Amino acid sequence: MNKPAESAKRFQTIYFIGSGPGDPELITVKGKRLLKKADVIVYAGSLVNEKVLQYARKDALVYNSASMTLDEIMKIMVKAAKSGKRVARLHTGDPTLYSALQEQAFVLEKYGIPYKVIPGVSSAFASACALKKELTLPEITQTAIFTRLEGNTIVPEKEKLSELSKHNATMCIFLSVGMIDKVVDELKKGYPDNTPAAVVYRATWEDEKIVRGRLKDIAKKVNRAGIKRQAMIIVGKTLNPSIPPLTKGGKGGLPPTSKLYDKGFEHGCRKKNNKY
């Protein structure tokens, strides 16, 4: 086998591209440009919206990886890159969250095939945008946790939902809506019952659906809506439909505001009271 440094000169770079949460306009400009040039495209068909393939060349070879094994996927990508073909590997959302990126990268490194990873809009962010809510708010929480309930994939003991919920931070829970009752049971061990919760089904797709509630009733509402997959669960006080409860920073009935645009605060880009 060639040494990685030698091979890197001859083999085409493989691009792992985050294709975004669904809406084909939410792929990055760079991701789209690379997709347009690709000779071979392997897309994760279980979640990637096939509409992004409209950017592909008509003569590109397109494979849906949904029913393939890792070996099968890698065989296609390695063979193509070795024969000088440009490969785009499309993942849903951002490729650094729950996408099996590293096991693929490991094989490419073994063969000395260069690769790059292009970010995408994660469904966590698309879902928060659908709700028109920030995941972090001054004085409410400055932390967002990305996590999941244990399923076939083991979750480390210290990261069980019951443990994480003790922080009362915002939580974006992937891959778990099918077990919403269990999710809620675990979350209730740390969050108060009336903590706002929302489920966004297929954020940014044409059939996007939003279910809003509180920990005490969200499971019932989600079950009633028949949502079993492809949805994000977001929990935390920043989702509060009313003005967040005032703490020391809140002024005259307004929610706590950030320092970023506070006229009494200066930073690298702005003097106090706009005196630049």
User: What are the residues binding ligand SAH (CB under 6 A)?
Assistant: 21-22, 47, 91-94, 97-99, 122-123, 126-127, 174-175, 200, 202-205, 230-232
Min dist CB 174 to ligand SAH, Å, is 4
Q: What is the 3-state secondary structure (H, E, C) of the chain?
A: CCCHHHHHHHCCCEEEEECECCCHHHCCHHHHHHHHHCCEEEECCCCCCHHHHHHCCCCCEEEEHHHCCHHHHHHHHHHHHHCCCCEEEEECECCCCCCCHHHHHHHHHHHCCCEEEECCCCHHHHHHHHHCCCCCECCCECCEEEEECCCCCCCCHHHCHHHHHHHCCEEEEECCHHHHHHHHHHHCCCCCCCCEEEEEECCCCCCCEEEEEECCCHHHHHHHHCCCCCEEEEECHHHCCCCCCCCCCCCCCCCCCCCCCCCCCCECCECHHHCC
By beta carbon distance, the residue nearest ligand SAH is 93
Nearer to ligand SAH, 21 or 190 (CB): 21
Q: How far is the CB of 26 from ligand SAH (least distance, A)?
A: 10
Looking at the Cβ atoms of 38 and 175, the one nearer to ligand SAH is 175
Least separation in angstroms between CB 44 and ligand SAH:
8
Q: Which is nearer to ligand SAH, 61 or 105 (CB)?
A: 105
Residue closer to ligand SAH (CB basis): 18 or 112: 18
Query: In the complex with ligand SAH, which residue's Cβ is closer, 12 or 89?
Result: 89
CB of 175 to ligand SAH, least distance (A): 4
